[in-house]
Amino acid sequence: MLPPRRVRRISGPVVIGALVAAVALLPVLVPVAAVASVFLPGRWRALRLLCFALVYLALEVVGLVVAGVLWALSAFGCRLDTPRWRAAHYTVLRLLLDALMRAAQRVFALRLVTDGTSWSPLDDGVPGSTNAMVVLSRHAGPGDSFLLVDTLMNRDHLRRPRIVLKDLLQLDPLLDVYLNRLPNHFVAADPAVGYSSTEAIADLARDLGEEDALLIFPEGANFTPQRRFRAIQRLRDRSLVAAVRRAEALQHLLPPRPAGVTAALRAAPHADVVFVAHTGLEHLSTVRDLWRDLPMDKTLHLRWWFVPAAEVPRDDTELTDWLYRWWATIDAWVSATSAAEQPARGGRRAADG
């Protein structure tokens, strides 16, 4: 169960203390990480992780300090819900995420490639959107959330994202402070607590403006073979024969849950839809996964498909069928992109050997 907000606020000083301790212990941590890297796969894995952890802690501290300043300047929190102060929080989040993603790309030698034609409200609408936007993405680990939100907020797109997240993410003090001050929703693990994620999605979508983007992960969880089996079994138990057949054809994605997507598009029929696929961040659901399969010296691929509001089905049955067709398109793209990367990876391993 998630601790109450007053208890969670203790994590802020803990993060500051962790950063001070880490900096003070650098003369010890650096040699230990260097020695550990000799016994770990990849080039300087432990040193890279240490460097990135320090950057992450530093950005957390900077963000929390700025959040305190914003709270004081906004009449000690009385005006935080006004457009001016919301915009200030979005700006700070954008700068922090930009710094974090640049650090990740530099430290881990990652290269981000956008396949196909991207969209942007600054592209004179070819293709593009100045409408509200609902973004539907595959779910492939916590790293994809940072990547997508950073992409939505960067200078090319300048969107203000709204997200429905698991409540445990509030254990991160920076996310806890900023995302609770902005229109987002944390869903409790216990469905009896608060209202459902479907209702939360509808509430967030209802007043979407032209600079807003509602980010939804229709799968509801990261892909694993076990989750895929359970998801297909649930469809089979409900006698949804066609959905079972389509879900079994998906190799890299869980079957989408149409309820949240339907709720969002009903509440915001004016919104355009963007589908997102990416590769390179799979299998990174836990700290253990991150340690074992840390993405280093590799290319991350990102692909966007833009659908204007006028082309989005409105009937529930047609919308579900449309969503499954797009999920099959994303699955095929992931298969093709992953297969194309295999020879390149094999060549790099041979060269390293």
Q: Which of 93-102, 180-189, 224-233, 278-287 has the lowest mean pLDDT?
A: 278-287
Q: What residue segments make up the domains of the chain, in order of their start? A: 116-347
Mean pLDDT confidence for 1-7: 84
Model confidence at 121, in pLDDT bands (50, 70, 90)?
very low
Instruction: Kindly tell me the burial class for residue 217, based on how many C-beta atoms sit within 10 Å of its own C-beta (0-12, 13-18, 19 or more).
Output: buried
Per cent of the chain over pLDDT 90 is: 59
Coil vs helix vs strand at 303: strand
pLDDT of residue 288: 65
Q: How many CB atoms lie within 10 A of CB 298?
A: 17
pLDDT of residue 21: 97
The tokens for 136 are 């539907």
Phi, psi of 141 (to 5 degrees): 110, 165
Q: Smallest Cα–Cα separation from 159: which of 111, 118, 190?
A: 118
- Residue 118 Cα distances to 72, 125, 223, 261, 310, angstroms: 39, 11, 25, 22, 19
The answer to whether 120 and 259 have CB atoms below 8 angstroms apart is no
Mean pLDDT confidence for 324-331: 96
Q: Would you put residue 283 in left (φ > 0), alpha (ψ -120 to 50) or beta? A: left
Judged against a pLDDT cut of 80, whether residue 279 lies above it is answered with yes
**In the 8-state DSSP scheme, what is residue 115?**
E
Where helices occur in the chain by DSSP H, the ranges are: 5-8, 11-24, 26-38, 45-73, 83-107, 142-153, 173-181, 197-206, 225-237, 241-249, 258-267, 287-292, 316-352
Judged against a pLDDT cut of 50, whether residue 126 lies above it is answered with no
List CB contacts of 186: < 8 A, sequence separation 6 or more.
Answer: 164, 165, 166, 167, 169, 170, 179, 180
- Rounded Cα distance between 176 and 271, Å, is 28
Q: What confidence tens digit (pLDDT) does each residue in 49-84 have?
A: 999 999 999 999 999 999 999 999 999 999 999 999
Mean confidence (pLDDT) of the chain: 87
Q: What is the DSSP string of 278-290?
A: EES-TT--SHHHH
pLDDT of residue 253: 94
